[in-house]
Amino acid sequence: MNIVQTPATPLSPELIARFRAIVGDKYAVTAPADVAPYVTEERGLFHGHSPLVLRPGSTAEVSAICKLATEEKIALVPQGGNTGLVGGQTPHHGEVVVSTRRLDKIRDIDPASNTMTCESGVVLQVAQQKAADVDRYFPLSLGAEGSCTIGGNLSTNAGGTGALAFGVAREMALGLEVVLADGRILNALSKLKKDNTGYDLRNLFIGAEGTLGIITAATLRLFPKPRAIETAFVGLKSPADALKLLSISQNEAAGSLTSFELLADIAVDFSVRHGIDIRAPLTSPHPWFVLMELSSSDDDARTTLESILAQGMEQGIVDDAVIAANLSQRQAFWKLRDEMSAAQKPEGGSIKHDISVPVAAVPAFIAEANAAVVKLIPGARPVPFGHLGDGNIHYNVSQPIGGSATDFLARWHDVNAVVFEIVLRMGGSISAEHGIGVLKRDELPEVKDKVAIELMRSIKALLDPLGIMNPGKVL
């Protein structure tokens, strides 16, 4: 997908040399082959271009980059692990890329305060492991955790499979360090859970997708490490039955229910057929599946999970289920889930939605959206899956078998219109956890409160008056 917009200001050799001097020759990338990984994303949906990729190694270097960019009116695109799904990290019209991957230090781990302060380029999986090393738990978890970064997670307010119990990225950050467009450094790092000294500036930058400043560090909340984790893969007849099972689970497990994923049979089938070393967990087919997990500080998780499944079977909700017997089987369950997006690629074109509706409305949403999409494009194959526990469904649609991927993807906005109309009518959101970027930028003013849009534009104008911070994204 190519975005048409006014090109960025061209960079002269002299200006490139000034930027290069800030980070050093080794960390100023200009060769097209070396720039290439930074200007396209894994799916190949968005393609950009850039004359220069800067890889600063400190907050001071990020500050110097922003000062020079403001002085010369040069547009910047902050980028973490380049795993975003809405084009927010792509330099669509020749901006300078500021990669934060070298900002990868763990500055502090404080088990007593249950906090960890790390730089924005720390890979999520590394943060998880560093927390585990001190017998703590950092619960943000998503499919790209081996390559996405903390800064990117916060900039997009990532959700993931643990949001049911722990919330999204916003709830996991106590404080931030941010470089503003003019190079000033906002030091709002804090270990405090209680601090009422004025406006909560932290939340301006979380979810802002780099349009207000560049996050360079964050203080994150840690939690006691679970002593027992029990995982089950469940077969059932419908999303309505899954909703009933969710209610039983929440009543029985309360806060120890940490994940509750709803998976359509087609999504499971794609993962099994196209994934590597992935098997169907249950021996017989089912129209729908649930992947659920309990995490507890005691040894009662297994007993609780067995009780939940037994009640589900007694009430005719659960048709079949298997509880992971060991860590390897648990990882196999989650691998099947994590591969669902990638497994759609061999099936041809895929139009993806990251929506949320009230939890109780999920079954009705799926039924209505499936009917509407197939009516719009006969033969289209809805592939819904996602976080039933918080109402966030990845409502993806694969092209008709044997059809043209190009023709199908040309209907992207038509399918969006059908799906979004249902979402909004049900009181939902067109972006649950992936952000706005450019993919949903033009729809945002139509679905967001007009006063909210006015305030967002005012904040943008105040913090980035020249419009150099990730221009054309979100607004």
pLDDT in tens, 254-280: 889 999 999 999 999 999 999 889 999
- pLDDT score for 57: 98
Q: Is 114 helix (H, G, I), strand (E, B) or coil?
A: coil
Pull the structure tokens for residue 469: 């911070």
Task: Name the amino acid, one letter, at 199.
Answer: Y
Q: Is 290 helix (H, G, I), strand (E, B) or coil?
A: strand
- Residues 180-235 have pLDDT tens digits of 999 999 999 988 888 888 898 999 999 999 999 999 999 999 999 999 999 999 99
- pLDDT score for 2: 40
Task: Name the amino acid, one letter, at 88.
Answer: G
Q: Are strands 53-54 and 213-221 parallel, antiparallel or unpaired?
A: unpaired
Rounded to two decimals, what is the model's pTM?
A: 0.90
Asked if residue 299 has pLDDT above 80, the reply is: no
- Residues 144-186 have pLDDT tens digits of 899 999 999 999 999 888 888 898 999 999 999 999 999 999 9
Q: Are strands 115-119 and 96-99 parallel, antiparallel or unpaired?
A: unpaired
- pLDDT score for 8: 67
| Burial letters 379-403, b for 16+ CB under 10 A, else e | ebbbbbbbbbbbbbbbbbbbbbeeb
- pLDDT score for 1: 43
What top-level class would CATH report for the domain 227-346?
A: alpha beta
Domains 227-346 and 348-435 share a fold: yes
Find the DSSP H helices in 118-230.
Answer: 124-133, 150-155, 163-166, 202-205
Q: Which of 96, 118, 101, 113 is nearest to 7 (CA)?
A: 96
Task: Name the amino acid, one letter, at 302.
Answer: R
Cα within 13 Å of Cα(167), Cβ side: 11
Q: Which of 93, 90, 86 is nearest to 438 (CA)?
A: 86
Topology annotation, domain 106-224: 3.30.465
- Rounded Cα gap, residues 86 and 211, in angstroms: 14
Cα within 13 Å of Cα(343), Cβ side: 22
- Rounded Cα gap, residues 151 and 157, in angstroms: 10
- pLDDT score for 164: 87
- Rounded Cα gap, residues 13 and 18, in angstroms: 9
CATH architecture of 348-435: 2-Layer Sandwich (3.30)
- Rounded Cα gap, residues 106 and 119, in angstroms: 6
- Residues 381-424 have pLDDT tens digits of 999 999 999 999 999 999 999 999 999 999 999 999 999 999 99
- Across the range 9-24, mean pLDDT stands at 93
Asked if residue 375 has pLDDT above 80, the reply is: yes
Mean per-residue pLDDT of the chain: 94
- Rounded Cα gap, residues 195 and 324, in angstroms: 42
CATH number of 13-101: 3.30.43.10
Domain boundaries, the chain: 13-101, 106-224, 227-346, 348-435
pLDDT band for position 7 (cuts 50, 70, 90): low
